[in-house]
Chains A and B, each alone.
Chain A
Amino acid sequence: MSFLSKVSVRSPWLYRINAGSCNGCDVELATTALIPRYDVERLGCQYCGTPKHADIVLITGPLTARIKDKVLQVYQEIPDPKVTIAVGICPISGGVFRDSYAIEGPIDKYIDVDVNIPGCPPRPQAILEGIAMAIEIWKQRL
């Protein structure tokens, strides 16, 4: 592993994609994972506003039919190497929305998911652990 990639591992930037979630998982991500008790910044993470800056993608929601194309388009814009995390039971299996006519998920039909964080919504500790696992995977891709 080169010096550059050794250092890079310590600065993964996170980007959230909401693929039609009920907002429960987003609240967990936006607040719980970043408030005093559960600080992801100590892993060097930072939430970034645009897909162009992202290293680790957190996808929430069951991928509704209306939003599918947009999600795939945004996902395309994220520069490589990237790691994908599915947050909540929704993107993994459809969760409470499974078999609905309005959803196109599960998400791994369209996108290679690297880490699943199950839960409805997942606990903040689980999210942190998922991000730590994603960093490990990212290390191998660099």
Chain B
Amino acid sequence: MMLEVMNTLILKAVLAPLVLFPVAAAVLVFGLLLKGVDRIVVARLQRRVGPPLLQPFFDILKLMSKQSMVPIGAPRTLFLALPMIGACSMCLAIALVPIVGVYEPNGQFGDLIVLLYLLTVPAIVLMLAGSASGSTFGAIGFSREMSLMLAYEGPLLLVLISVAMKTGLAQGDLITFSLMDIVHYQQDNGSFLFDPWMWPAVLAYLSIIPANLGIPPFDIPEAESEVLEGPLCEYSGPALALFKIMSTMKTMVVLALGIVMFIPGNATGMMALIGFVFKCLILFLLTKSLLRASVGRMRIDQAFLFYFKWPELLGIVGLLLVVFKG
């Protein structure tokens, strides 16, 4: 009985924002489709048949119909609230990112800085989830997630600041954090992707994506063969489904942000939508499927050092180039 109530509560918590805000629902569907494409592509690269395209939908619906268990000793409310917070934060984040020519957010809701804060919420939710579950594996996942986050947040910040400064300097201010300003500037002056001075920043952003989204070789916090999926270890049923939704939405936010920052394009209407889908697909295949099919998993210390050396360096070089070249 209790369980039934809990499950419907969770379901409503997810469905309410999605109904209120159809863009998030559309993005979620698209994200799940992308995930299906990814699983097929990886299977084909390994010469397997692979699951059907709609497999991620099946997985989520299946999880919705299962039991949600809370381990003995875990704080029940926090344990079940965390996935909701995570999923909602990502629904909010997607509302802030413009899809050029299709959807323009209201600038008053928030800018790049709010987005940066929202983007760290899933990692923090995962960390809390790991420690709230009271399991050893969750705790290991917690510590790994934290070191990884420390490693990639630096370069991410550098990239965002480079883009914001580039636009800001050109417009006469020092820096602008409005995403629409960044888009308009690129529409008038050409995308940053085609500006060689911005390439270090582009590279840094590309190399952050796998760690940010937990893709091999940087899926260290959720390594299922070592730490039993780490923070997600004790979650089951609808709560786990919420985590899946959260990670799908986060993928979409990160992809959309990359597109906005580096190659927004000028198209409008239908063409813009097709362009967006196409760019997402390319970015996604490049940073997820190919990588996932071809590499193993790093150790946490290796990943940490990697991020401190290369993306950090690229980020600093990118920022210096922006400052001195304008």
Interface residues of A (CB under 8 A from B): 4-5, 7-8, 10-11, 35-36, 39, 41-42, 44, 46-50, 52-53, 55, 77, 79-80, 142
Contacts and interface: CB of A to CB of B under 8 A. Distances in A.
A44 B51 contact: yes
Nearest to B49: A42
A70 to B, nearest CB: 14
Nearest to A8: B62
B143 interface: no
A11 B62 contact: yes
Contacts of B266: none
Interface of A is mostly: loop
Contacts of A46: 59
Given A42-B51, A50-B229, 6 more contacts: A11-B62, A39-B43, A41-B48, A44-B59, A50-B224, A52-B240
A44 B48 contact: no
Nearest to B60: A11
B95 to A, nearest CB: 28
B154 interface: no
A50 B6 CA distance: 22
Chain B, interface size category, equals 20 to 34
B305 interface: no
Contact of B62 (A7, A41, A42): A7
A17 to B, nearest CB: 13
Interface string B52-70: 1001011101101111010
Given A7-B61, A10-B55, A36 B46 contact: yes
A39 B50 contact: yes
Contacts of A48: 224, 229
Interface stretch (B123-131, B230-238, B296-304): B230-238
B248 to A, nearest CB: 15
B55 A79 contact: no
B225 interface: yes
Nearest to B224: A49
A39 to B, nearest CB: 4
Contact of B236 (A10, A11, A35, A52): A52
B66 A79 contact: yes
B85 interface: no
B229 A41 contact: no
Given A39-B48, A42-B49, A49-B229, A8 B65 contact: yes
B51 A36 contact: no
Nearest to A78: B236
A5 B240 contact: no
B233 A52 contact: yes
Nearest to B239: A52
Instruction: Indicate the member of A4, A47, A50, A142 with the most B CB atoms within 10 Å.
Output: A50
